[in-house]
Amino acid sequence: MDSSVGGAHDVAALLGGWSGGDGPLYRKLAAALRRAVEDGALAAGDRLPSERALAAALAVSRTTVVAAYDELRGAGLLDSRQGSGTRISARTRPAPSNGYVRGGSGLSLYQRLIDGPGDLISLACVTTEALPPVPDIIREVADRHLSDLLTETGYHPRGLPELREAVADHYTALGLPTHPDQIVVTTGVQQAVTFVCDLYLYRGSAALIESPSFAGCLDSLRAAGADLLTVPVDDEGVDIARMRRVLRERRPDLMYLMPNYQNPTGVLMSAARRRQVAELAAEHGVPVFEDGAYTGLRAPDEPPPVAAFAPPGAEVITAASVSKTAWAGLRIGWLRASAAVAERISRRKVITDLGSPLLDQAVAARIVRRLPEVAAARSAHLAERMLFLEERLRERLPSWSWRRPDGGAALWVRLPDGTDARVFAQVALRHGVEVVPGSVMAPCGDYDSYFRLTFSHSFDRLTALADRLARAWEDLCRYGPVESYAPRVVV
């Protein structure tokens, strides 16, 4: 592992919300490093950053890191030698794989879901409570349809027929004629991403992605062995001129795009860009995966999916879910593809879990039938919260800037004067906020001063969020990001 500042930020990203809770910082840091070793994120022989570099990345004093390293040396977890730095001891027992992707950051975003948030306000995931129609639909399924479901075998790898029919009708109404045989139901869009990566990618393959993009999906692409070819995003979506150039230089094995409310920028790709993407994909023979999971706040003039613009011969897989629209607890998604591709993916689905839960699918089928109504209610719900948070930010943090998103559930905030959001994230942790810095979502390093600020929280939570962020920003501006911040730190 590199001992430069870049390597230090990589280590910092592995530690998650390490500074929360009571006790001296050095002991919390030592415990977090120990857990990273036990989980397999750090392995025997890995070289840790220097004390000064890690202190800079964590916005703590060098003394804190020195004390943490000393404690781990005393426990036999670290070895230090003149000229070779500090490394994880070769005596440590190799940890089993726990889902970490070397060089990736996606799992650190989900660690908060595993740990539980406590008093920490986490911006790692967009969470949506159930809208009013959802409890009524659940009761309807339980009261009127449970007996029919109980006679089912329970095995529907492609998905419950009534849900596949509802999804097919939904796409047909959007201008994309679809047959139920083209639909495979998944446990959320993340599972669809995994299946598509398994189908198209291999060690040494290439995937074209937008930059920035969602870290969890980037890790899935990396885990499949793909090199990431990045294309920037502007106010209309993916940069077509740059995409054309990348396609000429190296033909990727897959394009992974988010046309609807690109995550994290919230940009809605225009109809013209969608047509150009579909035509380029057909011209170069590259399959497209369009991820439609990141919805919530919606624009009134949302174009049809990219697949609706695809010429003959183009291969486009479209994925979406009800989680962000209806309720985050309803982990039901789907993908739409050609019947042949859907068949190949359904084989992967049956090997994975034999099929998603039937009760959840029955609920989702009724939600999909009412999707325009539910989506409008979610959009209005989030619009109020976005306006509320924007007002708080303008009051407390007038130097911050952002582009109001076309949709989604987050602001893509830019910190002033090129401030590194990774350093701010460490200060924010000690004020009770978990921030996702732009470097986690942009492999090229173009967005180091950005972070994603979700607004799907309650009004009380948003008020507390703005207050905590303002205090963290005041501390960072007053004491500086590295050694000058040390007097504020309790060791």
pLDDT at 132 over 90: no
DSSP 260-307: SS-TTT-PPPPHHHHHHHHHHHHHHT--EEEE----SB--TTPPPPGG
Query: Among all chains, which residue has been given the structure tokens 């009708």?
Result: 169
pLDDT at 484 over 90: no
* CATH classification (class only), 5-88: mainly alpha
Lowest model confidence (mean pLDDT) among 228-242, 260-274, 441-455 = 441-455
Task: Name beta bridge partners: 255.
Answer: 208, 288
Q: What is the residue extent of each domain of the chain?
A: 5-88, 106-131+374-488, 133-371
**Distance between CA 69 and CA 79 in Å, rounded?**
9
DSSP 304-363: PPGGGGPPTT--EEEEEESTTTT-TT---EEEE--HHHHHHHHHHHHHHHSS--HHHHHH
| Closest to 43 measured CA to CA, from 85, 117, 112, 98 | 98
| Closest to 217 measured CA to CA, from 130, 350, 319, 353 | 319
**Distance between CA 402 and CA 31 in Å, rounded?**
36
pLDDT > 90 in the chain, percent: 73
Confidence of residue 1 (pLDDT cuts 50, 70, 90): very low
Evaluate the CA torsion angle 364, 370, 371, 377 in order and state its sign. negative
pLDDT at 408 over 50: yes
pLDDT of residue 117: 53
Ramachandran angles phi, psi of 204, nearest 5°: 95, 0
pLDDT at 483 over 70: no
pLDDT of residue 314: 92
Write the CB contacts of 474 (distance below 8 Å, at least 6 apart in sequence).
none
- Note whether 6 and 443 are within 8 A (CB): no
What DSSP character marks residue 3?
-
- Name which residue leads in pLDDT, 486 or 188: 188
What is the separation, in whole angstroms, between the first and last Cα of the chain? 26
pLDDT of residue 114: 53
- Name which residue leads in pLDDT, 97 or 304: 304
| Closest to 57 measured CA to CA, from 88, 32, 23, 89 | 32
Question: Which CATH entry fits the domain spanning 133-371: 3.40.50.970, 3.40.30.10, 3.20.20.140, 3.40.640.10?
Answer: 3.40.640.10
pLDDT at 4 over 60: no
pLDDT of residue 187: 95
pLDDT at 229 over 70: yes
Computed on alpha carbons and rounded to an integer, the radius of gyration of the chain in Å comes to 23
Lowest model confidence (mean pLDDT) among 248-257, 267-276, 349-358, 481-490 = 481-490
Task: Give the pLDDT mean for 457-479.
Answer: 95
Q: Calculate the CA dihedral of residues 476, 477, 482, 486 and round it to 10 degrees.
A: -70
**Distance between CA 351 and CA 141 in Å, rounded?**
28
pLDDT of residue 110: 53
Lowest model confidence (mean pLDDT) among 218-227, 321-330, 443-452 = 443-452
- Note whether 20 and 118 are within 8 A (CB): yes
Ramachandran angles phi, psi of 410, nearest 5°: -155, 155
Confidence of residue 10 (pLDDT cuts 50, 70, 90): confident
pLDDT at 398 over 80: yes
Confidence of residue 152 (pLDDT cuts 50, 70, 90): confident
Confidence of residue 273 (pLDDT cuts 50, 70, 90): very high
pLDDT at 329 over 50: yes
Write the CB contacts of 166 (distance below 8 Å, at least 6 apart in sequence).
365, 366, 368, 369
pLDDT at 5 over 90: no
Task: Give the pLDDT mean for 242-250.
Answer: 96
| Closest to 12 measured CA to CA, from 437, 364, 450 | 437
**Distance between CA 484 and CA 284 in Å, rounded?**
53
pLDDT of residue 486: 35
What does the pLDDT look like over 333-371, one tens digit per residue?
Answer: 999 999 999 999 999 999 999 999 999 999 999 999 999
Task: Give the pLDDT mean for 104-132.
Answer: 70
**Distance between CA 101 and CA 41 in Å, rounded?**
8
- The yes or no reply on domain 106-131+374-488 and CATH 3.90.1150.10 is yes
